């Protein structure tokens, strides 16, 4: 073939000629040649490889097959040789005009044929039964044919469905027949679903894996009926059934609570427009669990003094939430949460307010009419206050007492047990030393309000809370991943500290190009909320927040460095151990002229209940200090105010703290506090900073010396190296569970 020495594979003859078709291995082409020389094949020596590989009998040893006699082989051979003749004679007997919908001969004809071939078979069959037991007959041909015929052609009525006519006689030799008209009732699955491809199967497997990984089995079915896209207006929402149902559910709640009445607009009055707001509600893992449609009022069109008067409504501070969790961890009781459904709709209005009809749901034939509000509506200036008055009145009527300092704290005492309730608008958390009181409180709330969520506290105000018997873990892992993804930093390289010690951030770098201030402020705002559970980044975020007016490239680089630190420790959070005491302890510290813009110092403070960090501060001082002593003294005075607030807050819990120690690492500042002497270095200090002296004289606190290496407030005044930074993070009670 071709050149001498070329090797190929013989494929066959070309069009019935003696020319050969050969695949040339070297050229990768098929060629037609006249003469080829077969290569000789020498089998490998028997000593190479397992001997069973060359022994045919040993290849089938593992199958445990019975020995076949020569007589059995003769029967099989005879059947194979005569198979074509039998098939030809059988096909010749089939008429050409065969109707596929007419059943074949009845069961009696088939039984007669079977009885002729196997005499004993008739005794084993019954009327209408096509099954014949061939186990007693060694004839391979007959048994296999009858098995297939009986299994494929029998139905519930004893008839045989086939594509053959009813006048056809059963042949003397049983031949398998295939029914091409399969009953639709016996088809598993949807016949119109189409063919499954490898890609579709792979996508389904990925979906099942994700459901299994995220443990959302109970949501997988509901996911099919939840929209994942938030519509921009009500016209888009009306095209989606899930959002239509959400809007109808909202309006049904209005009718249930008797929020409004359809009336004619009086002369001289004006109606406030309404608007639909759509939101996909997610759980703590970020999975959409509900489509929420809210009808809100455009409150910016209200006139003060006419449409509303008082608007203030108290909400819980984040420090109050952490105090609540720290106290619950020490008392070892579970904290539960509940959410009031459409809470603002329960608030009673004292003013006369008219609103327009909801867009897309106008009353037929009443287009010119408006709604007169009896209850508050979302968007009204007075709605939060009306809801708080309704809720507080309901709790006070059932024996609760309101906190002296925190108006969102309600306490119920019964015997030696107590129940504590903390309110943040319509989100409520509560816990008790007696589980029966929790059940009673749940019944009290359900008697007046409709609850949408009740269970153990796990996600509250963006904080993820994991409760255990020996400790409570507060973190924002979900929020960290979301903001990293939002700003495209989820795949960035991590850093082990928020900022380097030699950052040298300054607003006066002329050669440094400016960046988009909107992006910079959005990144700062996202980091600000993370401070609620991650005090380790507080100083770095506050430092970068000073340059929001005209951010430069160096400032944006510093902010991204903080994000990359979050990538390093996404699960870092506050740990509240149960075995620690409830002693109040505070730390205060300050740098000296650390701000390069105006040389003002930064005050830092930290307050702990035992080993539980509940409050911390980082704030630039309003005056320029003349000495480190003055800066430390001002920082201690600022920490004193926070300590007094915690003391008063804990009195509602039944705890009285006196002579709370404030640890400072400057002896001069301690001397100024304990010895009210005005000398040349302190006479200029503002009078308001001497507030700490009065508190020390009353015995409310005492300023104590602490070593600089043990001062936890040092974390909130300056950037630190990795060893010092990690040591302070561990000392304030922040732990990575991994």
Burial class (CB in 10 A: 0-12, 13-18, 19+), 499: buried
Report pLDDT for 259: 92
Return the SS3 of 565.
helix
Backbone angles phi, psi at 213, to 5 degrees: -70, -45
pLDDT of 402 over the 70 cut: yes
pTM over the 0.75 mark: no
> 67-84: per-residue pLDDT in tens?
656 666 565 555 555 545
Report pLDDT for 680: 65
| Mean pLDDT over each residue of the chain, to the nearest integer | 79
Structure-model confidence comparison of residues 153 and 40, the more confident one: 40
Confidence of residue 445 (pLDDT cuts 50, 70, 90): very high
Structure-model confidence comparison of residues 507 and 161, the more confident one: 507
HEC profile for 228-284? CCCCCCHHHHCCCHHHHHHHHHHHHHHHHHCCEEEECCCCCCCCECEEEEEEEEECC
Q: Lowest mean pLDDT: which of 55-64, 267-276, 340-349, 474-483?
A: 55-64
In the block, tokens 């009285």 appear at: 656
pLDDT of 484 over the 90 cut: yes
Report pLDDT for 305: 83
Confidence of residue 410 (pLDDT cuts 50, 70, 90): very high
Of 88-92, 130-134, 326-330, which has the strongest mean pLDDT? 326-330
Structure-model confidence comparison of residues 157 and 285, the more confident one: 285
Q: How far apart are CA 494 and CA 570, in angstroms?
A: 10
Of the candidates 729, 721, 723, 719, which has an alpha carbon nearest to the alpha carbon of residue 505? 719
Structure-model confidence comparison of residues 157 and 512, the more confident one: 512
CATH class name, domain 580-735: alpha beta
Structure-model confidence comparison of residues 727 and 92, the more confident one: 727
% the chain with pLDDT above 90: 40
pLDDT of 54 over the 80 cut: no
Measuring CA to CA, how many Å separate 466 from each of 45, 317, 334, 532? Answer: 69, 20, 11, 16
Return the SS3 of 200.
helix
pLDDT of 145 over the 70 cut: no
Structure-model confidence comparison of residues 316 and 22, the more confident one: 316
pLDDT of 170 over the 80 cut: no
pLDDT of 301 over the 90 cut: no
CB 595 within 8 A of CB 618: no
CB 478 within 8 A of CB 528: no
Q: How far apart are CA 161 and CA 159, in angstroms?
A: 7
Report pLDDT for 502: 86
Report pLDDT for 388: 94
Question: Which residues 6+ apart lie within 8 Å of 391 measured at CB?
Answer: 340, 343, 346, 423
Confidence of residue 113 (pLDDT cuts 50, 70, 90): very low
> 215-236: per-residue pLDDT in tens?
444 444 444 568 888 898 989 8
**CA angle in degrees (0–180, nearest 5) for 699-704-710:** 145
Report pLDDT for 150: 42
Of the candidates 386, 389, 370, which has an alpha carbon nearest to the alpha carbon of residue 378? 386
CB 465 within 8 A of CB 473: yes
Average pLDDT rounded to a whole number, residues 150-154: 42
% the chain with pLDDT above 70: 72
Structure tokens at 728: 């302070």
Report pLDDT for 12: 78
The domain spans of the chain are 1-42, 96-186, 234-461, 472-573, 580-735
Average pLDDT rounded to a whole number, residues 454-467: 88
> 352-386: per-residue pLDDT in tens?
999 999 998 988 888 889 999 999 999 999 999 99
Confidence of residue 173 (pLDDT cuts 50, 70, 90): low
pLDDT of 728 over the 90 cut: yes
Structure tokens at 438: 């929790």
Report pLDDT for 185: 66
Structure tokens at 412: 């119920």
pLDDT of 269 over the 80 cut: yes
Q: How far apart are the first and last CA of the chain?
A: 70
Confidence of residue 398 (pLDDT cuts 50, 70, 90): very high
> 494-503: per-residue pLDDT in tens?
999 999 988 8
pLDDT of 554 over the 60 cut: yes
Which alpha helices (H) appear in 501-587, and where do they start and end? 517-530, 538-544, 553-568
């Amino acid at each position: 073939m071709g050149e001498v020495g070329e090797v190929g594979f013989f494929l066959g003859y070309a069009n019935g000629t003696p020319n050969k078709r050969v695949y040339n291995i070297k050229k990768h082409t098929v060629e037609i040649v006249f003469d080829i020389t077969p290569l000789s094949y020498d089998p490998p020596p028997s000593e190479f490889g397992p001997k069973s590989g060359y022994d045919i009998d040993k290849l089938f040893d593992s199958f445990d097959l019975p020995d076949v006699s020569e007589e059995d082989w003769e029967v099989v051979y005879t059947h194979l040789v005569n198979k074509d003749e039998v098939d030809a004679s059988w096909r010749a007997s089939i008429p050409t005009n065969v109707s596929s919908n007419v059943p074949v001969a009845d069961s009696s004809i088939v039984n007669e044929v079977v009885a002729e071939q196997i005499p004993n078979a008739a005794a084993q069959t019954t009327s209408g039964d096509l099954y014949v037991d061939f186990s007693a007959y060694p004839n391979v041909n007959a048994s296999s044919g009858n098995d297939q015929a009986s299994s494929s052609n029998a139905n519930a009525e004893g008839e045989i469905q086939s594509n053959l006519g009813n006048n056809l006689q059963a042949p003397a030799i049983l031949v398998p027949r295939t029914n091409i008209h399969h009953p639709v009732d016996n088809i598993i699955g949807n016949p119109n679903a189409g063919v499954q491809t490898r890609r579709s199967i792979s996508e389904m497997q990925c979906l099942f894996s994700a459901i299994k990984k995220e443990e959302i089995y109970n949501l997988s079915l509901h996911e099919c009926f939840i929209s994942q896209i938030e519509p921009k207006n009500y016209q888009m929402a009306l095209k989606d059934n899930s959002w239509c149902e959400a809007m109808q559910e909202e309006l049904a709640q209005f009718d249930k609570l008797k929020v409004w009445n359809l009336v004619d607009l009086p002369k001289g009055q004006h109606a406030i427009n309404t608007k639909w707001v759509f939101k996909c509600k997610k759980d703590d893992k970020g999975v959409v669990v509900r489509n929420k449609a809210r009808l809100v009022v455009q409150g910016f069109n209200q006139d003060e003094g006419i449409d509303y008067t008082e608007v203030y409504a108290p909400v819980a501070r984040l420090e109050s939430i952490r105090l609540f969790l720290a106290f619950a961890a020490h008392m070892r009781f579970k904290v539960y949460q509940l959410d009031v459904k459409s809470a603002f709709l329960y608030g009673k209005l004292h003013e006369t307010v008219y609103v327009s009809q909801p867009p897309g749901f106008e009353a037929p034939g009443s287009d010119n009419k408006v709604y007169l509000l009896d209850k508050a509506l979302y968007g009204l200036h007075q709605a939060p206050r009306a809801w708080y008055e309704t809720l507080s009145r309901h709790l006070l009527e059932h024996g609760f007492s309101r906190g002296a300092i925190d108006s969102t704290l309600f306490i119920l005492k019964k015997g030696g047990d107590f129940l504590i309730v903390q309110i943040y608008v319509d989100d409520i958390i509560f816990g008790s030393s007696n589980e029966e009181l929790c059940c009673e409180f749940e019944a009290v709330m359900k008697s007046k309000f409709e609850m949408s969520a009740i269970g153990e506290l796990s996600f509250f105000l963006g904080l993820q809370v994991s409760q255990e018997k020996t400790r409570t873990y507060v973190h924002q892992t979900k929020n960290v991943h979301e903001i990293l993804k939002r700003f495209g930093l989820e795949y960035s390289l991590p850093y082990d500290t928020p900022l380097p010690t030699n950052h040298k951030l300054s607003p006066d770098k002329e050669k440094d190009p400016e960046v988009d201030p909107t992006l910079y402020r959005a990144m700062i705002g996202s980091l600000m909320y993370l401070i609620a559970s991650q005090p380790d980044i507080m100083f770095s975020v506050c430092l970068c927040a000073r340059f929001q007016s005209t951010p430069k490239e160096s400032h944006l680089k510093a902010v991204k460095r903080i994000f990359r630190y979050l990538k390093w420790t996404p699960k870092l959070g506050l740990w509240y151990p149960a075995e620690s005491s409830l002693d109040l302890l505070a730390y205060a510290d300050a740098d000296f002229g650390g701000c390069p813009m105006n040389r003002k110092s930064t005050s830092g403070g930290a307050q702990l209940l035992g080993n539980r960090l509940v409050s911390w501060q980082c704030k630039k001082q309003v005056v320029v200090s003349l000495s480190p002593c003055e800066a430390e003294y001002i920082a201690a005075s600022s920490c004193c105010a926070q300590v007094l607030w915690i003391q008063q807050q804990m009195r509602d819990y039944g705890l009285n703290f006196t002579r709370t120690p404030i640890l400072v690492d400057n002896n001069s500042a301690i001397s100024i506090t304990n010895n009210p002497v005005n000398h040349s270095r302190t006479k200029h200090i503002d009078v308001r900073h001497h507030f700490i002296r009065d508190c020390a004289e009353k015995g409310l606190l005492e300023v104590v010396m602490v070593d600089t290496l043990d001062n936890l407030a040092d974390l909130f005044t300056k950037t630190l190296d990795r060893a010092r930074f990690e040591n302070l993070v561990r000392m304030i009670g922040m732990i990575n569970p991994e």
